[in-house]
Structure 1
Amino acid sequence: MDHLSYSGLPFETQRAAFLDIVAADPLLGETLARVRAFALPDWLVVSGALYNSVWNHLTGKPTGYGIRDVDLFYFDGTDLSYEAEDAVIRRAERHFEGLPLPVEVRNQARVHLWYPRKFGQPCPRYTSASESVSYFASKTHAVGLRYDADGQLELVAPFGLDDIFSLRITPNRAMDNQRTHEAKGKRAQENWPEITVVPW
C-alpha cells in the first residue's frame, strides 16, 4: 500500500478509512469495548493509540507498534477534587487489567487546576472532553473516538484527518506548546521515518 494513498482526499472518504482501520485493529477494538463498558461521563479515547494505529496500517507496521498507552479522557464537572479523579483512575486500573496497553485516564474538567504548575502557563477551563482535544500541541494529534448512543463509532477531529493521512505533524498554536510539538514530532519520526514535521 502507498502510505499516502488517502492524502488529500475528501474528509468523508478519510473518515470512513480512519474508522475502518481502527475497527479492524484488534488492540483498539478490545480497548474501545472495555472503555464503553466502563461508562465514564463524556468519554473519549484520544491521540496516539488512534493515529499511531493508522500510521502502522499505512506503513505496514504490526499492530501496537510505537504505542505506549491509550489515553482516555472523560469530563465530570461535579467533583473537581484530586481524590475523585484518583478514585476513577484506581477503578480503571482494575477494569482495564489484562489489556496489552495501559489506559491513562484523565478528567478534562480538572486540567486547568494542575496544568499551570506542570507546564508553567495557564490553560483554558474546558467545557467538554472533545473541547480539550482542540488545544493539543499538534493539529495532527487532535483526534478522538467514542461510541454514540446507537453504538456507532463517533469521531472527534476538529482539524480534520488530512495531517494524519499525509503523515505530517502540523503545529497547533492555540497555546504555547512548541516544546511538546517538537518532542512528539521527533519521537514520531524515529518510529515512522515517512513522517514530516512542520516547524513551529
Structure 2
Amino acid sequence: MIQSILDFLKDFGVWGLFIHSFIDAIIFPIPAFFLQVSLSLLDPSSALWLATVGFIACLLGTPFGYLIGKLLGKSLLYKILKKKWVDKATEMFNKNGEAAILIGAFTPIPFKVFTILSGCLNFPLWRLMAYAALGRAIKFYAIGILFYVYGRAAEGMVGKVSLYVFLIGVPLILIGLWVRKKIRNRRQPAEAGASQQHDISAD
C-alpha cells in the first residue's frame, strides 16, 4: 500500500514531493528522501528545485506535527511507528532536545517523531522550526546538489554521501552545541554577579 502511495505521488512530480515532504513532518512513515531521489533521478537538472520544494514543504508541515504532539501525545507515535524509534528519539530528546532535532535530520528515525515529541514535551516551537530548518536544509540540499552536479550517476553515490554527511555533520552539531552550552554557563555567573551588584547599589 505504501509503495502504491509513493508511485501515486511520483506521478505528480514536484507537487507529489511537496505533499510527501509536508506529511513526512506530520504522520507519513516513509521519509521524503526516497521520492526526492526518484524524481532527481528522472530529471537531475531540477534536483536543486526539488530540494527547495521538499525543504519548504517539510518546514510548513513541522508546526502541524508539533500540534499533534500537543493534542494527542506519544500514544499516536507508538501506533504508527516502531517502538524502538520512538523510545530512542525520546531518550535523545530528554538528554538534549536541540541535539535530538538536529541529529534527527540525519538518522533513519522518521523526522515526524521529533516534531510530535517536541509538542509532547513542550519544546518551544520557534526553536523546533529553527533547528529543523538547519537540519533539513542539509539533508535535502546534499541530495539536490549531488544529482545536480553528477546527474544520474549520483544514484550510486547517495548512500555514501548520506553516510559522510552523518559522520561529519553530527560531530559538528554536537561540538557547536557544546561550545554554546559552555558560553551560556560562563555568562550566567557574570550576569548573576552584575545583578547582585545592581541590588547592592540600589540599597
- TM-score for both structures, normalised by structure 2: 0.29
- TM-score for both structures, normalised by structure 1: 0.30
Which structure shows the higher strand fraction? 1
The structure number with the bigger radius of gyration is: 2
